[in-house]
Amino acid sequence: MHMLPEGRLNAAFWLLLATGLVGYHLALIFSGLVPNLVSRPLHMAFILPFVLVFGATTRRRLISGIPLAILGVSAALWVAANSDRLGDQYGFLESDFQLFVAITLLGITLEAARRAIGWPLPVVAGLALLYGLYGQYIPGQFGHSGTPTASFLGTLTIAEGGIWGALTGVSVGVVAIFVIFGAVLNAGEAGQGFMNVAAAAAGRLKGGAAKVSVISSALFGSISGSASANVASTGAVTLPAMTKLGYPKRLAAAVEAVASSGGQIMPPLMGAGAFVMVELTGVPYTSIMAAAVLPAFLYFLAVWVGINAYAGRFDLKGVDPADRPARRDVFVTSLFFLVPFSALLWAMFVAKYTPEYAAALAIITGALLLFINVDLKSRREQIVDRFVSAIMNAAKQVSMIAAIILCASIIIGVLSITGLGVKITSLILEGSGGLLWPSLLLTALACLLLGMEVPTTAAYVICVSVAGPALIQLGLEPLQAHLFVFWFALLSTITPPVCGAVFIAAGMVEENWLKVALTAMALGVGLYIIPLGMIANPDILRLAQDPVGALFAMLRIAAGLMLVSHGLIGARKVLSTVLLVGAGLGIVFSAAII
């Protein structure tokens, strides 16, 4: 049970609040249209106690978090209660009290994000606010004409141009539902099902323990949406299995970090990023999924080839027959994720429901499966523990993601109000001389730098808001530009100096993180090449419109990737490495050259 030290009453309060949060987001799906200035502030009211109080790690944070949560919840509830009147104000604050509410909401949004993920994102959002308030005093093209304070702060807090904007709408309506879905799956036997299927599929192969990690992490990562969470969960099983078989520690940790990072680009769920992309591009979710599937396959293909190359160097063994799951266990445990996933896909593709409605049906299906265990029996205590685990984990994860998205929404709002986004777009175009490939490299560098400090989805949103228009202006299709930015926002999970997935995996096997990072970069080379390959071979994103062209483009990139991967890992001499890598890159980018 998820109890706090203070006792049962405290635990019951948090469980009740978490149940309310989960129930609220599910009710929104079935209740029809709820005004945005009602549903989004209520979303914030539910998540603040979990970020500011439940997540408090010290007594000082707890004492300061309680009044902040009360203030923030009160302000959000006030906006929801007065939504009709505020809608008629068109984002203009009409009293000192409304100004106080606006400042409270912005300040607590920054603090909630700081407590959820640290300083970097709130600092960027704070600088954006200062720019909006005082940017008119900046000389030259990067100043702005100025916006009245009442209008600027009001647009961000009582209208749909800031923290209640479209991005928060995605967090409320879609991201929260899929996070709940993931929590329900993880509370039951689905996680073990992923591991068993992976072990049955790849356990007997050479390097089998590493390949089990790749498959299980790809499956688990598609629902977790977090590379770090993926490493911590699947790594608890796969890392001991690899080290027990004599795998070098740096390789075992690198495999887990690379495979876990790939989960975020793996359809059908792709964490939260795919649904944010739907809102920003206007492209249907099914089209985004179709465009993303072949690049994701290529990523894991490159990892697989790299593992084969390492297997030749280190004589990596498969999983011992005694440690492989029995066929019955594979079949039964796989049903715990196959049934909910089948319900999700049927609802989306056959019944043609919206992704969020389909996810709600899948949640109900997954919740029913929590009543039985792998022995197909029901135990009352186990059922209670599973539901408590699902509800509490869902509430904590929804709250953390919401805190990030609310803070990122401030930045997006300021970019829109001040026109700074357009100016940065112009700077990118000028800096690259109006050429596409230099613009892509500038954007990739910005994604890498920003991704080191903020989570992938937030880095993607900020980068695409400023660089996306420039890339589209230079001839890329919107979806092409967004997928490019999303992939590169993921780079920092395995790229030094800040590589979250690598740090966690290295810590779990007690290995030097830099050794793990260098191995992970070689294994995950597809993360650096495939986004650029998508630009050079745009047909790969058109699987739904032109399957033959998409498959041909995939084969070309696959051939190049296999050469690059083998050259970096399998080749023993410098000249062989240079020739193989050069040939591989030539094949991947031959379409762009021609």
What are the phi and psi torsion angles at 477 (to 5°)?
A: -70, 150
* Cα-Cα-Cα-Cα dihedral sign, residues 553, 543, 520, 566: negative
Contact status, residue 140 vs residue 420, Cβ threshold 8 Å: no
- The pTM (predicted TM-score) of the whole model is 0.84
**Nearest CA among 467, 480, 554, 411 for reference residue 121:** 411
CB neighbours (10 Å) of residue 27? 12
Give dist(CA 131, CA 200) in Å, integer. 56
DSSP string, 14-26: HHHHHHHHHHHHH
User: How far, in Å, CA of 524 to CA of 257, rounded?
Assistant: 9
A 10 A CB-CB count for 351 gives: 11
Closest C-alpha to 268, from 170, 154, 358: 358
Do you find a cis peptide bond into 122, omega within 30 degrees of 0?
A: no
Q: CA-CA distance, 294 to 551, in Å (whole number)?
A: 8
SS3 of residue 457 by DSSP = helix
The predicted structure's pLDDT at residue 2: 43
- Give residues with Cβ within 8 angstroms of 105, minimum separation 6: 72, 75, 76, 79, 157, 163
20 phi/psi in degrees, rounded to 5 = -65, -40
Q: For the residues of 471-482, what is the DSSP string, one character each? A: HHHTT--HHHHH
Quote the tokens at residue 124. 């960027």
How far is C-alpha 594 from the geometric centre of its chain's CA atoms? Answer: 35
Nearest CA among 481, 524, 482 for reference residue 499: 524
One-letter identity of residue 258: V
The whole-angstrom separation of Cα 441 and Cα 282 is: 25
- Count CB atoms within 10 A of the CB of residue 550: 22
CA atoms within 13 A on the CB side of 538: 11
Structure tokens at 491: 């780079």
- Point out the residues of the chain with pLDDT beneath 70: 1-8, 221-226, 269, 271-272, 452-454, 591-594
State the DSSP H helix or E strand holding residue 236, giving kind and residue range, or none if neither.
helix 227-244
Which two three-digit tokens encode residue 542? Answer: 């058109």
